[in-house]
Amino acid sequence: MKRSRARKPASTSVDLFALRECVEQFTSKTVVLLGDFVADEFQYGEISRVSREAPVLILKHRETQIVPGGGANAANNLASLGAHVLPVTAVGDDIAGDALIVQFRRQGVDVSGIFRVKGWTTPTKSRFLAGWAHTVGQQVLRVDYEPKLPLPDVVRKKLQQRLSASLGHAHALAVSDYGFNIATPELVQQASAKRKSSLQVTLDARYRLHRYAKAGISSATPNESELEAEHHTAIGQDTGELTRAGRETLSAMKLQSLLVTRGRHGVALFEPGDRFSQIPVHGSDQAVDVTGAGDTVLAAYTLALACGASPLEAAHIANIAGGLVVMKRGTATISRQELLDAIRGEASGAAS
């Protein structure tokens, strides 16, 4: 395999005042979120003793929390950042589906595009966290519940109709594909024929990113491991390999920008014209919990682009948002005010 030479990254300096102005506009934007909704369930318990039946801990159940995960977490982050969110998705007619809809109703999110499907299972990740009294619970087990049946054709048709209708009122479409076959390239492609040419279409796909090459995606936000899987490679510290893989994806998908999240190494931004920028991680490189951080990045990047930010400005905003959310435990969101405060903090640090 031929490797390209590592290119020197472009300047990553931006006007922090412009970033603040951009974030302040978030409340004026409407974003359609097409995504695979997931319920993140957290079951908390205290270790009571070791079982006599087997060498395992017995947890005395304390509480259960269900919060939005997957595409639902991306929608939750959009709402927390102040956007008007129009989710288009399907959930099962079950407890997890109920919990997601109730939570979004409480936030004032329009749930008319969330279709209930009888006999279908809402994808659920159930995490069991154990700890002693007054200690932080540690995850000891995760059980996943996934749909055993495909979505009925009648539901898929409803999704297509709602997506096409919703885009007429939107400034951006964010696609969150977690592999549960709700957000699909075919659905995005069908809707793209009817959308405005100026509409930003962003993508976060867990698997097989390049399937969306003909779906009219403007920008994508994979993490490094997803990019590695797409190109059957390992990047690590190899900037040349990162550049090669990023450039190939940018070209193959005809993107306006590709934002690759790299954990403690920050983010890498690829743009047409051979432009390549690396932005260091915001804050500490010792994350508390990375669960759902990609959803936060997708939400912040989408909103920034919808507000007219350049890809580099949007990348800085998304990088700060991601750096904030990984310092929180569990599937979390950040608010528009938290993001504004963090940008002000960077401006104060730069001035001192």
Under DSSP, is residue 263 helix (H, G, I), strand (E, B) or coil? helix
Nearest CA-CA partner of 186 in 206, 162, 164, 214:
214
> Contact at 8 Å (CB) between 297 and 261?
yes
Q: Helix or strand or coil: residue 124? A: strand
Active site residue 295: yes
DSSP state letter for 331: S
Distance CA 40, CA 322 (A): 19
How far is 321 from 335, CA to CA, in rounded Å? 9
- Whole-angstrom distance, CA of residue 260 vs CA of residue 245: 10
Q: Helices H, strands E: what count in the chain?
A: 10, 13
Concatenating the DSSP letter of every residue in 59-77 gives EEEEEEEEEEEEHHHHHHH
- 3-class SS of residue 107: coil
CB atoms near residue 53 (< 10 Å): 7
Helices 336-351 and 16-24 pack at an angle, to 10 degrees, of 170
The token pair that represents 273 in the structure block: 């014209």
Catalytic residue among 144, 177, 295, 341: 295
Helices (H), the chain: 16-24, 71-80, 95-106, 153-167, 185-192, 224-231, 239-252, 293-306, 311-325, 336-351
**Burial annotation 21-50 (CB, 10 A radius, 16+ → b, else e):** ebbebbeebbbbbbbbbbbbbbbbbbbeee
Active site residues: 295
